[in-house]
């Protein structure tokens, strides 16, 4: 006879404060209950999980916590095998390695509230060669784990191979204990990712992020680094901040979590969130007007840049004392380096979020009028929308990309392909 299953309880902390208990019952079902003290004095960890004293059962809590993990089933199974977790189920993975999730949550069965507090950071210094090996081995050891590492943490949701490290006192380090990571390292994608040649992804994302900044969009800080010959895009985590020598976790959630969608529903075309649903969250932001304009502008900029993967998990909100607001933008890549000019002109590829009163995904079917229709959904006047679009076109006409000071490691051919595509697509907005 097999061993009888038992109830497992995970304490969930934010900066040493017990916010609730996540429970897995013997039948595998899960529930989350806020701690009464947190209900009285804290804040909801998600727009989809308001502060109440009764348990959240079924999918309501599962959706939120499942979204903290890598999207790909294969990655979860490999992680579970490497760390000898009970299964690749989201609860068992959070139980085993939930010390450094996206945002501020920390999961543990054994840590006390005092032990779960953000402490002075500790880490193991890594050589250039060690980091290079971590990057080279990401396929076999997802997220940078290794066979002899008992202190592995699960920081990174999404589908791309990547790892996260601590950068402290000008040294790259592997965090020890509950010390959080501060930077994400993303190597080049495989030759064929989603049917496209994405080998230039490091240069691609670097340039797209820098270019978005020139369009006055707030983005995560990025740079290109080489570790023992392995190129990686280094992204500074905006869900971490340093104060008085301690690295704190910042509470954030992506739009799938906020709206109650599993990660496999992140695309609108897969019955995932649409523009109006994202607006329902941003319209109650403490930076309401600014965030609505930023979101609308991002739709237009992503269109001209060929950044077609702006789905619900690529928009997030952060929680501050006054409420919530849009985080910096992240994970922005252009499809142009993988296409010919002819393919760009044909525009047979789709955007992640549709625009227009009637849903338009295909680029060849999208024109300025569709963005003006979407502006109304974004609670932006037609005059303001035209002003935003005209400003983007003006910057393109002025070749705003020439202001970017690129890394010495940057590949100019990637830049040229993206610029070529922008010049072609921007004509559709005239």
Contacts of 266 (CB under 8 A, 6+ apart): 71, 256, 272, 273, 311, 312, 313
CB 338 within 8 A of CB 420: no
Extents of the domains making up the chain:
8-108, 123-236, 252-429
C-beta of residue 401 within 8 angstroms of C-beta of residue 215: no
Residue-wise pLDDT tens digits, 168-198: 999 999 999 889 999 999 999 875 555 567 7
- Residues 274 and 411: their CA atoms lie apart, in Å, by 35
- Give residue 229's region: left, alpha or beta (phi > 0; psi -120 to 50): left
Q: Does 151 qualify as catalytic in the annotation? A: no
Q: How far is the C-alpha of 8 from the C-alpha of 95, rounded, in Å?
A: 9
Assign domain 252-429 one CATH number from 1.10.1070, 1.10.8, 2.60.120, 1.10.3470: 1.10.1070
Compute CA distances 353 → 68, 150, 291, 373, 378, whole Å. Answer: 22, 40, 17, 14, 13
Q: What is the pLDDT of residues 194-219, one digit of tens each?
A: 556 778 999 999 999 999 999 999 99
Q: Please, which residues bridge with residue 172 across strands? A: 167
Q: Residue 292: which of 395, 220, 213, 388 has the closest Cα?
A: 388
Check residue 397 and report its DSSP letter.
Answer: H
Give pLDDT tens digits for 266-321: 999 999 999 999 999 999 999 999 999 999 999 999 999 999 999 999 999 999 99
Those residues with Cβ within 8 angstroms of residue 46's Cβ, 6 or more apart along the chain or in another chain: 64, 253, 257, 258
The Cα 430–Cα 120 span in angstroms is 54
Tokens representing residue 175 in the block:
């965090």
| Residue with the two structure tokens 């900044």 | 213
- Of 100, 239, 254, 309, the catalytic one is 309
pLDDT for position 155: 45
Least confident of 48-57, 155-164, 174-183: 155-164
């Amino acid at each position: 006879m097999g061993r009888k299953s038992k109830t497992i309880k995970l304490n969930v902390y934010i900066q040493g404060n017990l916010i609730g208990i996540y429970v897995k019952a013997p039948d595998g079902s899960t529930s989350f209950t806020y701690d009464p003290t947190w209900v009285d004095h804290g804040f909801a960890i998600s727009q989809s999980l308001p502060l109440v004293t009764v348990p959240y059962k079924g999918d309501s809590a599962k959706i939120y916590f499942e979204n903290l993990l890598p999207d790909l089933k294969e990655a979860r199974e490999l992680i579970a095998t490497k760390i000898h977790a009970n299964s690749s189920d989201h609860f068992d993975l959070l139980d085993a390695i939930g010390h450094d999730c996206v945002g501020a949550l920390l999961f543990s069965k054994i840590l006390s509230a005092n032990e779960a507090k953000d402490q002075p950071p500790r880490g193991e210094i890594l050589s250039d060669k060690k980091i290079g090996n971590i990057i080279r081995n990401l396929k076999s050891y997802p997220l940078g784990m290794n066979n002899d590492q008992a202190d592995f943490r699960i920081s990174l949701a999404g589908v791309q191979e990547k790892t996260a490290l601590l950068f402290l006192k000008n040294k790259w380090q592997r965090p020890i204990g509950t010390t959080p990571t501060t930077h994400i390292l993303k190597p080049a994608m495989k030759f064929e990712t989603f049917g496209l040649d994405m080998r230039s992804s490091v240069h691609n994302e670097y340039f797209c992020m820098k270019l978005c900044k020139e369009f006055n969009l707030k983005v995560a800080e990025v740079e290109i680094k080489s570790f023992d010959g392995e190129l990686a895009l280094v992204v500074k985590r905006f869900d971490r901040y340093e104060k008085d020598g301690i690295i704190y976790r910042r509470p954030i959630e992506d739009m799938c979590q906020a709206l109650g969608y599993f990660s496999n529903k992140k695309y609108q075309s897969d019955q995932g969130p649409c523009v109006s649903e994202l607006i329902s969250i941003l319209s109650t932001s403490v930076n309401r007007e600014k965030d609505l304009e930023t979101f609308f502008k991002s739709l237009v900029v992503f269109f001209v840049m060929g950044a077609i993967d702006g789905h619900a998990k690529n928009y997030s909100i952060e929680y501050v004392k006054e409420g919530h607001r849009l985080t910096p933008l992240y994970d922005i890549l252009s499809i142009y380096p993988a296409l010919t000019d002819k393919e760009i002109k044909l525009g047979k590829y789709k955007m992640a979020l549709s625009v227009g009163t009637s849903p338009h995904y295909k680029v060849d079917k999208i024109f300025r009028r569709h963005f003006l229709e979407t502006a109304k959904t974004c609670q932006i006047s037609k005059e303001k929308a035209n002003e935003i679009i005209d400003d983007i076109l003006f910057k393109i006409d002025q070749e705003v990309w020439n202001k970017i000071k690129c890394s010495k490691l940057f590949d100019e051919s990637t830049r040229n392909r993206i610029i070529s595509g922008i010049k072609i697509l921007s004509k559709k907005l005239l």
